[in-house]
Amino acid sequence: MADARDQILDAAERLVIAGRIPPPLQAVADEAGVSKGGVLYHFTTRTLLHGLVQRAVRMADTRLRAAAEAGVMASTWLRMSAPDEPERRLFQAMLSMLRVTSGGVLDLPAEVREAEVRWDAMLEAELGDPARARVVRLIGDGLFFAALTGQAPTTGEVDELVRHLGLPAAR
């Protein structure tokens, strides 16, 4: 069973996906089945939005670190760009968060930039070539954007890219 903090983040994520950005704290409380005071015990509006971003970064980081240890970080990076439905919804929530960020309402937590630097280093370490790592990173970013805008690549299309780039396939 999820703890109250995760329950609140889950509720906020559902509201953000539904377009309520930033989600009103009372709506988050209602969606989570807790009191507004219960939400405020854990979050302000700003820290709630940061919590959503940080949780998404942690989830991606866990997958990418495991893939790097297995020597398949580059192909995993690309495969994560062909999301299943729950991941696609999370990615759409992240796009919504970027809209809030670009409007100056929310600054992204430092963990986001730190993760990007770490992921770039992991790609470069695996591929042994900064330019090749950058190509894989940018292809993944493009696939990610396509998924967010409703043109998600199929698993087969990503598999073909992985083969074409000569990347080791995830086990």
Q: What pLDDT score does 56 carry?
A: 85
In this structure, the number of other CB atoms found within 10 A of the CB of residue 169 comes to 11
Q: What pLDDT score does 133 carry?
A: 96
Q: Which long-range contacts (CB under 8 A, 24 or more apart) does 35-42 make?
A: 38/4, 38/8, 39/8, 42/4, 42/5, 42/8
Q: What pLDDT score does 155 carry?
A: 87
Mean pLDDT per 10-residue segment, the chain (171 residues) = 86 84 91 95 88 87 94 93 72 68 68 91 96 95 84 88 90 57
| Nearest by Cα to 84 from 99, 102, 100, 63 | 63
Query: What string of DSSP letters covers 79-121?
Result: HTTS--HHHHHHHHHHHHHHHHHHTTS-PPPHHHHHHHHHHHH
